[in-house]
Structure 1
Amino acid sequence: MTSTSPYTSWSGTEQDTINDLLRRAVNDNPERPFLDFLGKIYSVSDIDREACQLANGLKAQGISKGNTVATLLDNSAEAIFIWLAINKLGAVSVPINTAYKGEYLRHQLSDSAATIVIAESDYAERTAEIADGLSEIKTLVYRGDKPNLTDFKHQLLSWDELHSTNTSDPMIEVSPGDLSMLIYTGGTTGPSKGCMVSHNYACNLAQLISEGTGRSKDTVSWTALPLFHLNAVVNVLCDLKAGGRMALYPRFSVSNFWPEIERTGANYTTLLGSMFPMLLTAPENDAEKRCRGQLAIVGGAPFPTKLQEAWKERFGAKHTVCPGFGLTECSLVTSLPLEAETKPDCSGKRNSSFDVRIIDDNGNEVPDGQSGEVIVRPLKPHVMFNGYWKRPEDTLKVMDNMWFHTGDIGKFDEDGFFYFVDRKKDYLRRRGENISSFEVESSFRRHPAIEDIAAHAVLSDMTEDDLKVTIVLRQGETITEEDLCRWSADQMPYFAVPRYIEFRTELPRNPVGRVLKYKLRDEGVTSTTWDREVADIKIQKR
């Protein structure tokens, strides 16, 4: 028997926009303290006013409804202000991973067609280095000290120059189906693609997460997750919607975690998979002792049951939750309300937003308990992505039989609980970052000593993947693994620098020449594999 969804009919329920959500929060309680960034407190009205001033500054630079604006910003109050400002104009926010540089950065800036890029000073310099290959860019806005851009040919503005004195709301008409942001995927089989996220998609996801994490007006949430990821952005919406407060931290730090929880009075936090064991294996400190039991709810993914129990025992967390399963294209297609019945290591059940099925290779639905590919379709308007930005062919490829094919393997049990099994696609996830094997391979192929390469996953002890590159050198070429590793650190984001490197004379291939990555994954770390951690090489996060 197959436990299909109890929700099968289309329902045009109430829809929302980020702009309306913010306006309601201002109307309900404008002076409510909402955001704590390193001890500086902003009320809801403070945030709205800053967003209005920046929106009017963007408007003066020619930004209007439907335009894209790219940002490379560290976690800060200003990063929230500018995102909301972009949306106030009906424009589309394109938050880019701050570790990106070179071809990684050029591709996303070019693909998004952003005419304005807003960046921290250091990242502005990276942008200027590739600006000649970006025909759309007209203005670069820097935050912080003025960067040294001697050859930059476009308009250069400071953050203060963008910040208008006009505090009025532009009041641009925005509908729930209008685009709010482009969130770029890891680019598993080609260049990374921009997922088109509508206003209602983001708001509906905030509602599902709120149900799974018990958000309320008494919630004080703490996050160090980067605002260029969808999960951190939606956490802002959750707290705006519920009437709670949030504390934003620049970057996750094991040593600063408990002092920050104590300082802010946080009773909720959301983390990424690798952060859970990091904190569990860290030495006990005084702030941790004083905060025992303070965190009523701890959520994140992946968050295996064994780790959840360890968190409850050591830190006194009342609720530990993995609120559901989803992808950027369709987040939380299965979910789990906070007080609902659950089972070990499940990712909730189907919800009223999505129809979710498990199919075999012929497209037939499989029985309960049997694994297969997860396919999804919406049951409400504007709760999934609107497709891939400027890539209709790629959108159609994942919409076989008008169902979105996730490329992931999962199963439902007889009670309707969902379990993620494995990834069907050739992508990796390392410490919360999706890594494109295609882009890693493209970067390494630029090295003159490399003939062939395969980037693939190796199972990590941190609940996610480690990255390994298996390389064939050109005839007559010699280079050490360490030298190649250090070279790659200058060519790609820190998180995409491989931990493992192995030289071989050839790669395993099928009869049509495709590299058999599953064989490389299964072989894992061999006796001839070089390990960056054993070599004690540190990669700077820059």
Structure 2
Amino acid sequence: MATRGDWVDVEQRTLLDLLDRRLETDPDGPFLDCCGTSYTAAELDRAANRIAAGLAALGVGHGSTVATILENGPEAVLSWFAIHKLGAISVPVNTALKGLLLAHQLTDAATAVVIVQQDLADRPAEILDGIESVRHLVVVGDPAAVDRPLRADTHAWSDLERADGARPAVRVRPQDLGTIVYTGGTTGPSKGCALSHNYHLSIAGQIASSWGRRPEDVVWSPLPLFHFNAISCMLTGTLLMGGRAALARRFSVSGFWPEIDRTGATIASLLGSLAVMVARADDHPRARGSGRPEANTTLRLLTGAPMPPEIDELYRTRFGVTTFSNAYGTTEASLISWLPPGMPGRPASAGIVNDAAFIVKIFDDDDREVPPGAEGEIVCRPRMPHVMFEGYWNRPEATVAAWRNLWFHTGDIGRIDEDGYLFFVDRKADYMRRRGENISSWELEKVFHQHPAVRDVCVHAVASEVAEDDVKVTVVPRDDADLSAEALCRWAVDQLPYYAVPRYFEFREELPLSQTGRTTKNILRDEGVTPATWDREAAGVTFERR
């Protein structure tokens, strides 16, 4: 490693470099428990080679984009490795997306091939004929589940599994793109963050260092592989650090401790809201510290951000488990702050500025640095090559705007104290985050405007009792419209991913406007839940959460 001023030259590597190292050092040891299906590195490599050959036969090559609409399972893992073996770009799509939101991501990514599980195949099938770039739809299960003729050719996943298993002869470089992850837009549609191979390795190494992850650790997580968090911790992180990972299909409060026992997990990787649920759950005989003979003895660390201080304390006192939540980052740049092993935390902080990888500052609205302790926008620059995103996919104007004055602007408000500890304060940009999912208010408003009884609409955040945000929609109905909050909610269930269906609905005669005629969302956010607000949860409205 060579340092020249603010720039540090470090070794650059690819995901395939890590896989090769694992194959050399531990090919036959347990590597991944994928929802009950176990793989060694060698077994996974052979299976991924076959899928890669099958995708290559469909025309996938270096730089192609392949979208996956898959819940956690062997197919999601094998697809991810196979795509990278071809030098192609993985586009993991949230399995809850449907309609306009799904069409936007598949179109924007110029997707060549879509891989989808059978019970979700109707969602892309409804929109694929309007997406010119998609040539092939691969169904995990029975392709007959697609009950309509498509312009794209339809294939069975089992066809890919029967392909030749030779490793593709493709050169992949550290700066090559590995994944496009879509993040919530504020004044426009969601943007694809273009992430290099080396960035995958960089963030995985930082997270592992923060956790004090060891080769003997078993990391368990229910987080979906369409989240960069799960990719970094469960796949890249395990290749980087050794040991094994256990990936659950989905999260269950009642199943948490039995899963930790079944897998022998020493580290559990959650999100803040999920960590809150486990901490506040009823007593479980297998819970660590329960005093029962069957109580868990393996779990030593639970991670999840953001985690309220009282929840952090509850894990220590109730379960005797150490927690990690002192970190801050975005999909575009991570980790901007962290808490390396041995570094003392500071209440309510997101750890200390990660000056090993980034130069981090707090700016005012005119991009002038503010004094220590003052609030402003969190901005950063990398100190190494390819340790943050390469830009927004096919959106050069948005990339340049985010890099105003050659500083990446996170859109978040924070402060840095005299000792370098970073404190997250609020979001400057108008996006929401609920149960770990970024939600674009602009995209939701676009959907609600399609309802014939809606004249105007504003989607905004309100405080949640658990963590992060709840979503509220304030609606101005058309004159003489026969529309109830419950009816609009049930309509939204059919149009939106489950996590984006607003909890709160309120009808008004008009929206608050600024002098320039734009809706002043800050007023609606500050008002929050009013006596006129209809609450979906209080009304008992339920729906399938997938």
Q: Distance in 2 between matches of 1:365 and 1:150?
A: 58
Paired positions, count: 536
**1:330 aligned partner:** 333
Q: Which moved more, 1:89-98 or 1:276-285?
A: 276-285
Letter in 2 for 1:195: C
- Measure how far apart 1:323 and its partner are: 4.5
Tell me whether 1:457 sits opposite 2:461 in the alignment.
yes
Letter in 1 for 2:392: Y
**2:360 aligned partner:** 356
Instruction: Check whether the contact 1:268–1:298 (CA below 8 A) recurs between aligned residues.
Output: yes
SS at match of 2:51: helix
Q: Distance in 1 between matches of 2:100 and 2:79?
A: 25
Residues 52-103 of structure 1, C-alpha deviations (whole Å, 9 max, x = no match): 1111111111111011001000101221111111011110000000000000
- Aligned pairs for 1:401-412 within 5 A: 401-412=405-416
Tell me whether 1:266 sits opposite 2:289 in the alignment.
no
Q: Distance in 2 between matches of 1:518 and 1:492?
A: 24
**2:59 aligned partner:** 62
- Measure how far apart 1:122 and its partner are: 2.2
**1:345 aligned partner:** 348
Residues 383-423 of structure 1, C-alpha deviations (whole Å, 9 max, x = no match): 11111111101111111101111110011111111110100
Q: Distance in 1 between matches of 2:159 and 2:185?
A: 35
Q: Distance in 2 between matches of 1:442 and 1:25?
A: 47
Q: Distance in 2 between matches of 1:431 and 1:120?
A: 23
Q: Distance in 2 between matches of 1:465 and 1:230?
A: 20
Q: Distance in 2 between matches of 1:499 and 1:204?
A: 37
Q: Distance in 2 between matches of 1:365 and 1:450?
A: 44
Q: Distance in 2 between matches of 1:31 and 1:343?
A: 42
Instruction: Check whether the contact 1:293–1:316 (CA below 8 A) recurs between aligned residues.
Output: no
- Measure how far apart 1:25 and its partner are: 0.7
Q: Distance in 1 between matches of 2:507 and 2:5?
A: 52
Tell me whether 1:484 sits opposite 2:488 in the alignment.
yes
**1:30 aligned partner:** 27
Cα 1:415–1:45 change in 2 (3 A) is same
**1:249 aligned partner:** 248
- Aligned pairs for 1:109-508 within 5 A: 109-146=106-143, 147-235=145-233, 236-288=235-287, 289=290, 290-292=294-296, 294-317=298-321, 319-351=322-354, 352-508=356-512
Letter in 2 for 1:230: F
Instruction: Check whether the contact 2:125–2:146 (CA below 8 A) recurs between aligned residues.
Output: no
Residues 81-133 of structure 1, C-alpha deviations (whole Å, 9 max, x = no match): 11111011110000000000000100000111111100001222211111121
SS at match of 2:286: helix
SS at match of 2:458: strand
Instruction: Check whether the contact 1:213–1:323 (CA below 8 A) recurs between aligned residues.
Output: no
Instruction: Check whether the contact 2:35–2:72 (CA below 8 A) recurs between aligned residues.
Output: no
* Structure 1 counterpart of 2:538, from 527, 534, 538: 534
Instruction: Check whether the contact 1:324–1:333 (CA below 8 A) recurs between aligned residues.
Output: yes
- Measure how far apart 1:190 and its partner are: 0.7
Q: Which moved more, 1:123-132 or 1:425-434?
A: 123-132
Instruction: Check whether the contact 1:7–1:355 (CA below 8 A) recurs between aligned residues.
Output: no
Instruction: Check whether the contact 2:121–2:146 (CA below 8 A) recurs between aligned residues.
Output: no
Residues 332-367 of structure 1, C-alpha deviations (whole Å, 9 max, x = no match): 111111332211121122221111100111211111
**1:46 aligned partner:** 43
- Measure how far apart 1:7 and its partner are: 10
- Measure how far apart 1:293 and its partner are: 5.0
Q: Distance in 2 between matches of 1:62 and 1:330?
A: 32
Q: Distance in 2 between matches of 1:7 and 1:127?
A: 49
Instruction: Check whether the contact 1:69–1:116 (CA below 8 A) recurs between aligned residues.
Output: yes
Q: Distance in 1 between matches of 2:323 and 2:169?
A: 40
* Structure 2 counterpart of 1:13, from 10, 34, 39: 10
Q: Which moved more, 1:487-496 or 1:164-173?
A: 164-173
Q: Distance in 2 between matches of 1:498 and 1:291?
A: 39
Tell me whether 1:100 sits opposite 2:97 in the alignment.
yes
Q: Which moved more, 1:158-167 or 1:91-100?
A: 158-167
SS at match of 1:301: coil
- Measure how far apart 1:292 and its partner are: 4.6
Percent identity between the two aligned chains: 48
Q: Which moved more, 1:492-501 or 1:115-124?
A: 115-124
Q: Distance in 2 between matches of 1:34 and 1:155?
A: 34
- Measure how far apart 1:304 and its partner are: 2.4
Q: Which moved more, 1:347-356 or 1:415-424?
A: 347-356
Instruction: Check whether the contact 2:276–2:307 (CA below 8 A) recurs between aligned residues.
Output: no
Structure 1 residue runs of 5 or longer lacking an equivalent are: 1-5
Instruction: Check whether the contact 2:477–2:507 (CA below 8 A) recurs between aligned residues.
Output: yes
Letter in 2 for 1:119: V
**1:3 aligned partner:** none
Letter in 2 for 1:62: G
Higher relative contact order (CA 8 A, sep 6+): 1
- Measure how far apart 1:439 and its partner are: 0.8
Q: Distance in 1 between matches of 2:311 and 2:5?
A: 35
SS at match of 2:389: coil
Instruction: Check whether the contact 2:91–2:181 (CA below 8 A) recurs between aligned residues.
Output: yes
Structure 2 residue runs of 5 or longer lacking an equivalent are: none
**2:525 aligned partner:** 521
Q: If the length of structure 1 is used for normalisation, what is the TM-score?
A: 0.97
Letter in 2 for 1:123: L
Cα 1:7–1:164 change in 2 (3 A) is farther
Q: Distance in 2 between matches of 1:13 and 1:413?
A: 29
Q: Which moved more, 1:49-58 or 1:517-526?
A: 49-58
Instruction: Check whether the contact 1:34–1:244 (CA below 8 A) recurs between aligned residues.
Output: yes
Q: If the length of structure 2 is used for normalisation, what is the TM-score?
A: 0.96
Letter in 2 for 1:103: L
Tell me whether 1:88 sits opposite 2:85 in the alignment.
yes
- Measure how far apart 1:206 and its partner are: 0.5
Instruction: Check whether the contact 1:295–1:316 (CA below 8 A) recurs between aligned residues.
Output: no
